Amino acid sequence: MRVTGRRPHTVRWDDVAGHRIRSLHTGGNRAGGHEVVVLPGLGALGYLTDTLEGCGAWADSFLLDVPGFGHRPPRACPARIPALADAVSAWLAAVPRGPVVLVGHSTGAQVALRVAADHPDRVRTLVLMGPTFPPALRRASGLLRALPRTLVHESAGELGVTVPYYVRAGMRDLLRYVRSALHDSPERTISRVTCPTLVLRGRHDALAPGEWALRLAATAPRGRSMTVPGAHNFPYLHGGLTAALIAEAARYR
């Protein structure tokens, strides 16, 4: 599948299970076509808009604002992995026309994993980008060693498209989100995934090291792993490439 051009996004709101869930949407309602749903890491959407708009060139595409750091409260759900997975699952049951290509980055990959494992009828293809956290990084010592090795390769421009979300979230909810992610076990969840799975990681990403990506891909029944240019937030600088790889994964059966 060839990806050409970008489709600017719009903002939409959906009433789902008693909550309003905001998303960025692009691509139009294409009858019979693919639908892509992207879940951000730590609730920051800004660094993923290029990827979203690249996907919009070939698919009806959504970037979900969960838990809701992109707007004022009330939020769609608490900032914890299980609650996020429940909110995304409810949205998938209510909004898309059928099974989707589900894409998660960083902690969003952990959420996407749970959704795909618990609701295989709603996910046709799973793409995990920079999935966190391998067991060695679930301890403070390991995490503090990995962070500097990754951050040195990130772009300073990311601050402008992530920090506003973190400020709106507040330190308490951010820490709750991180703690929840550190207590999660993706390596167990992925064994229950039945759809084709692509694991992507940046070459300089110490938060999602190569052996971790390979382990996850090997555990998935139909898993593949690829290393791409960049570090943890590689979609920020490589949105076009990321969208193209998602398109490739969508046609892999």
Whether residue 192 is contained in a domain is answered as yes
**62-72: per-residue pLDDT in tens?**
999 999 999 99
Whether residue 152 is contained in a domain is answered as yes
Whether residue 5 is contained in a domain is answered as no
What percent of the chain is predicted at pLDDT more than 70?
96
Can you tell me the mean pLDDT for 171-200? 97
Q: How many angstroms separate the CA atoms of 214 and 84, rounded?
A: 25
CATH code where residue 185 lies: 3.40.50.1820
**200-226: per-residue pLDDT in tens?**
999 999 999 999 999 999 999 899 999
Longest dimension (CA), the chain: 50
Instruction: Reply yes or no on whether the pLDDT at 150 is more than 70.
Output: yes
Q: Supply 228's token pair.
A: 């791409």
Q: Which pLDDT band holds residue 8 (cuts at 50, 70, 90)?
A: confident
Can you tell me the mean pLDDT for 47-51? 97
**168-178: per-residue pLDDT in tens?**
999 999 999 99
Which residue range(s) make up the domain with 93? Answer: 10-250
The answer to whether the CB of 118 falls within 8 A of the CB of 193 is no
Q: What domain count does the chain have?
A: 1
Whether residue 176 is contained in a domain is answered as yes
Can you tell me the mean pLDDT for 24-29? 86
**First-to-final CA distance of the chain:** 13
Q: Which pLDDT band holds residue 3 (cuts at 50, 70, 90)?
A: very low
| pLDDT value, residue 123 | 98
Q: Which pLDDT band holds residue 30 (cuts at 50, 70, 90)?
A: low
**88-135: per-residue pLDDT in tens?**
999 999 999 999 999 999 999 999 999 999 999 999 999 999 999 999
Whether residue 169 is contained in a domain is answered as yes
Burial class (CB within 10 angstroms; exposed 0-12, middle 13-18, buried 19+) of 202: buried
Whether residue 3 is contained in a domain is answered as no
Whether residue 220 is contained in a domain is answered as yes
Q: Which pLDDT band holds residue 24 (cuts at 50, 70, 90)?
A: very high
What percent of the chain is predicted at pLDDT more than 90?
91
Q: What are the DSSP E strand ranges found in 106-240? A: 123-129, 197-202, 223-228
Q: How many angstroms separate the CA atoms of 225 and 100, rounded?
A: 20
Q: How many angstroms separate the CA atoms of 17 and 132, rounded?
A: 28
The answer to whether the CB of 97 falls within 8 A of the CB of 74 is no
